[in-house]
Structure 1
């Protein structure tokens, strides 16, 4: 994951965050140095001495690594300690045992500056001899070197497969398993070369790009189920490789490379190399992009006949229908495509395409028929699709100007706590434009009553939004105590702080008292202190001071709480 430097505390597990903060405060972070633009290296002392590397770009930590053995998540406490070090001025933090600031050594060239200087001074022959010597001594260095520059050799697929296999082996343990950190490093190495290979076709090296992508897919598919790929880097390799092949297939690949890539894609699909992953169907899409002859079309359709072995509602069944449609569009005409969609309306993509076609032609009876069939088919088990069909009906009624049906469907969507088609306010505004002004207040009351009746525990957000749209601030304030939590009060604060600052502060106070009855731990205490500060910002300092005194008395044995309260 990428980490926002100014918000890293929100993205990292609280336990790891606290351990990293403790390390920083104890002065364990030393020798922090910017070794290149945005590249930081630091030493963190713990049970052993570890090295942390970070790359920061536009306020985002895009890469981070530590050589400690931690593998329970993406970020260890040593990385967090360095993040606190970099942000200490912003967060107003101080180390309990101050470390020697590296700023005093600013005149000393960084390691990378020294590397650049040496590279400039070395002769071509000296540098070649150094690289060759280290490749001879270190198998992993040799494998990485060959992998990074294998495009300079004669492009044989076996060479790419061999080097990727060597990389995999060098990152595997003795049982063949690839741990989290090794998987991330392996993935980054392969992804880096694949990114470079995207430009190979423009340099006349299309065959090499195809061989590399094919070898990556085959080899990474073999290991992905025996790998801790929590970072997603191994999966990323396969995705990039497939996209590279898809781009090449769509660029007008010539013979014999076209036929070879077509048969490779068919082979991978039939062998179930990527079975169980979305990529399984992506390789056959590559073949569809390449199909030309009737024999190739027949070959594709024959391997898709296994559709009969899937349940009609299954994802695989629908994907195969989509693939068959792609073949028809590539090799036949639009009339054939429409006939195929009409014969397979269980596929929601086909139904949507036909409805949109009917809408564009103003064939409203057909729109209504298709949408109502979809509602009947999906209302029990697929509420999301049912809403799609209702949205098409609303679009049709808007085109027709059918006020009664518009009001019926707009009310339906407004009653939902979430709509994926339009913001809920869209339906509110639509209804307000259609309902007479003298009836509007009673209509809104009816909407709120129905929301509360149908969705008691999830009513806060939709009702609060209506009060905000109506600018009924007194009702919004009265609504908050019925669903008391920090998040709800904080959401309402921008609208209420000018008129009701003391009332909001009192709500925060009550919520803090109830929260501390149920929660113990520094992170919870810090959260409560955050809201005490909000009380002060609302102008309720006396109330906040009284609350602090009450908490110091009531929880005098909670040392961590007392420490946090003392810093408010």
Structure 2
């Protein structure tokens, strides 16, 4: 196994900066002095306490090259944290001083805090935690010691202990009281108490500031435990009664909350127990399913979570589903048809229609699905679902007719639906083997939204019918001139048919593009590995017409080996632009591009040019003190150890 020194020997500060990001790297440097009890495990994982607003247990493990695995008990969860960086820098400092990093014992408090927390996190996300996380024997040993201690006490001693704990900790008293109510059959008392708790919890203002790490979050954990206890004691109806109260009041609380969804998650955990209770209630199977359908329709915040385990339960027969279908048909019949095409007006009706569609399938009444969708499509815009149903039934002609009809109905006020119907027409063409029409729709996509992804999709479709060269010539000409290859439905050199639907000029974004489209021409040349052409287009492009550096960066990365001077020019231009902003943050960003230049200078044996560049920047910007600090960092020895 590699020693920590061997793992660190090829790592640089730039590797660490690239991994964590400049901001986190800089903050991590400031926290190096806050690292204590720096230790290691048998596999070379670094572990330490890092002091901040609190004391955090942090571990970092080198995975190879400049990659690290890590975990920290701090609340930051947007990538590597400053504490992980601090641990790595502290370890590097210890290695440079030729000091030993001691082995951490598995029963040490730091070990237990660091790896128990990591284990809990993985248990929440996946059944399998990474194999390198060792077990936490201290936890097992602690529980065994506690059992042994209690076993030595008499009944009276245990009773006095519980009474004292109940007097000191109200939660213990409540748990004992509630357990007694359940065991003695006094469920009504417990339900009344929990109903009061629901009203108290849902009346709280729920908010949380991630940046300030403070807020007010209602604690639903006790309610969740008691709902489960009620259910386990055979009181499913009581759970449903409380669940109804929580549903009504909880939705109102979630609507007004500003807490990154944390209250919604807590309520959802309680409602998961309500859903578990549903099949055990005194409601008939059809009533249970209808309860679920009605609540799902009103569930705008996903509070019910996954309901598949219920609706897929074999205890619900097609006859039960037919009863549900009849009830939803009645609900739909009572709804008035909106005279407007506004989304909000048709949203509820659309959800009801799609729920009824699903119920028909489970009720083995699939013959009702297409007539339902045909009746409702003009009112709910569920054209996509109708077309899919017709495609699945093999009725391609009606599917195509509804696609075209729906497209014309939605293109002005619901263009997203119209786009989806255009895609359905392309899929229909694929189903029927009309690959020339498939390519025509791909070309329509490209001319509306020119991009490298659309170009590749068009290429794949055109190659399938052996017309790519003609299509490619027309596409590249369009990107140069802005002239569409098809006008008024006809063009001698264009090999593709006219699509069945056409977007009006107002709905065609490419009409607003400037031509030549230099950026996309460069991107396509890079895609096709025509690097000489990409460089030529870049040099041809007027300097004044510029909308950012993303394409320039892509070009520099692609040609750094074949055309190093072009890459250097691009990175130099970007760096100078950032330095010109006269902001410390921009200086750090500029350093990224200067580092790229340094790599190319090294690879091409031009260290003198690198030295001259840095000297020139120092002379021209000598008044920018923060920039001078950044340049100092660039020219230091970058090895960690």
Question: TM-score scaled to structure 1, two decimals?
Answer: 0.70
> Which residue in 2 is equivalent to 1:471?
529
Question: In 2, are the aligned partners of 1:512 and 1:528 still within 8 Å (CA)?
Answer: yes
Q: Is the contact made by 1:261 and 1:287 (CA closer than 8 Å) also made in structure 2?
A: no
- Name 2:127's counterpart in structure 1: none
How much does 1:562 deviate?
A: 1.7
CA distance in 1, matches of 2:428, 2:293: 43
Partner of 1:352: 384
Instruction: Indicate the SS of the match to 1:308.
Output: coil
Q: Which residue of 2 aligns with 1:508?
A: 571
Which residue of the partner structure matches residue 618 of structure 2?
552
Q: Distance in 2 between matches of 1:41 and 1:551?
A: 40
Separation in structure 1 between the aligned mates of residue 104 and residue 383 of structure 2, nearest angstrom: 66
Most deviating of 113-122 and 510-519: 113-122
**TM superposition shift of 1:365:** 2.7
User: Secondary structure at 2:56's aligned position in 1?
Assistant: strand
Cα distance between partner residues in 1 of 2:466 and 2:259: 55
In 2: Cα distance, 1:430 partner to 1:464 partner: 22
Alignment partner of 1:405 out of 410, 429, 437: 437
Q: Deviations over 1:244-264 (max 9, x none)?
A: 655776xx6674475785686
1:85 aligns with 2:86: yes
Given candidates 590, 606, 612, the residue that maps to 1:528 is 590
Label 1:444 to 1:529 Cα distance change in 2 as closer, same or farther (>3 A): same
Bigger relative CO (Cα 8 Å, ≥ 6 apart): 2
Q: Deviations over 1:220-277 (max 9, x none)?
A: 44543554412x222223444556655776xx6674475785686588689x7x6x54
C-alpha deviation, 1:401, in angstroms:
4.8
Q: Equivalent residue for 1:71?
A: none
- After TM superposition, the structure 1 stretch with the greater mean CA deviation from structure 2, 341-350 or 405-414, is 341-350
* 1:3 aligned residue: none
Shift of 1:316: 2.8
| Distance (whole Å) between structure 1 residues aligned to residue 87 and residue 72 of structure 2 | 15
Alignment of 1:313-332 (within 5 A): 313-314=343-344, 315-331=347-363
| Paired residues of 1:285 and 1:323 also in contact (CA < 8 A) | no
Write the mapping of 1:437-452 to structure 2, written as runs, cut at 5 A.
439=470, 442-449=473-480, 450=482
Distance in 1 of aligned mates of 2:372 and 2:296: 23
Distance 1:8 1:383, change over 3 A: farther
What is the CA–CA distance in structure 2 between the aligned matches of 1:456 and 1:370, rounded to whole Å? 36
Higher helix content, 1 or 2: 1
State how 1:260-339 maps to structure 2 within 5 Å: 261=288, 277=301, 279=303, 292=320, 300-301=328-329, 307-308=335-336, 312=341, 313-314=343-344, 315-331=347-363, 333-339=365-371
After TM superposition, give the deviation of residue 447 of structure 1 in Å.
3.8
For each residue in 1:162-206, what CA deviation from the matched residue of structure 2 results, as whole angstroms up to 9, or x when unmatched?
56975996999xx75554567797679479969x969x88x9897
2:360, 2:369 within 8 Å by CA — same for their partners in 1? Answer: yes
Structure 2 unmatched ranges of 5 or more = 1-13, 113-136, 485-509, 635-641
1:487 and 1:152 map into 2 onto residues whose CA distance is 68
Check the 8 A contact 1:32/1:102 in 2, yes or no: no
Query: How far apart are the structure 2 equivalents of 1:431 and 1:193?
Result: 60
My pick for the range that moved more, 342-351 or 177-186, is 177-186
User: Partners in 1 of 2:101 and 2:254 — Cα distance?
Assistant: 44
Alignment of 1:58-457 (within 5 A): 64-65=73-74, 80-88=81-89, 106=104, 109-111=107-109, 112=112, 117-122=141-146, 123-125=149-151, 133-139=164-170, 159=190, 162=193, 179-180=208-209, 189=221, 217=247, 220-221=250-251, 223-225=253-255, 227-230=257-260, 232-242=261-271, 255-256=282-283, 258=285, 261=288, 277=301, 279=303, 292=320, 300-301=328-329, 307-308=335-336, 312=341, 313-314=343-344, 315-331=347-363, 333-346=365-378, 350-360=382-392, 362-402=394-434, 405-417=437-449, 424-434=455-465, 436=467, 439=470, 442-449=473-480, 450=482, 454-456=512-514
The superposition leaves residues 474-508 of structure 1 with CA deviations (integer Å, 9 ceiling, x where unpaired) of 23234457547453334334532331122111111
Tell me how far 1:88 sits from its aligned partner.
3.2
**Any conservation in 2 of the 1:157–1:212 contact (CA below 8 Å)?**
no
Say which SS state the counterpart of residue 537 (structure 1) adopts: helix
Structure index of larger Rg: 2
Q: CA deviation at 1:441?
A: 5.5
1:51 to 43, 52, 55: 55
TM-superposed deviation, 1:50 = 2.3
SS in 2 for 1:499: coil
Aligned 8 A contact 1:150 1:160 in 2: no
Q: Distance in 1 between matches of 2:40 and 2:193?
A: 37
Give the secondary structure class of the aligned counterpart of 2:412.
coil
Pairwise CA distance, 1:306: 6.6
Query: Within 1, Cα distance between the matches of 2:173 and 2:59?
Result: 26
Q: CA deviation at 1:411?
A: 0.9
Q: In structure 2, what is the equivalent of residue 487 of structure 1?
A: 550
8 Å Cα contact 1:29-1:43 kept in structure 2? yes
Task: Give 1:18 deviation, angstroms.
Answer: 7.5
Distance in structure 2 (CA, Å) of the matches to 1:148 and 1:544: 75
Q: Any conservation in 1 of the 2:286–2:324 contact (CA below 8 Å)?
A: no
> What does residue 69 of structure 1 align with?
none
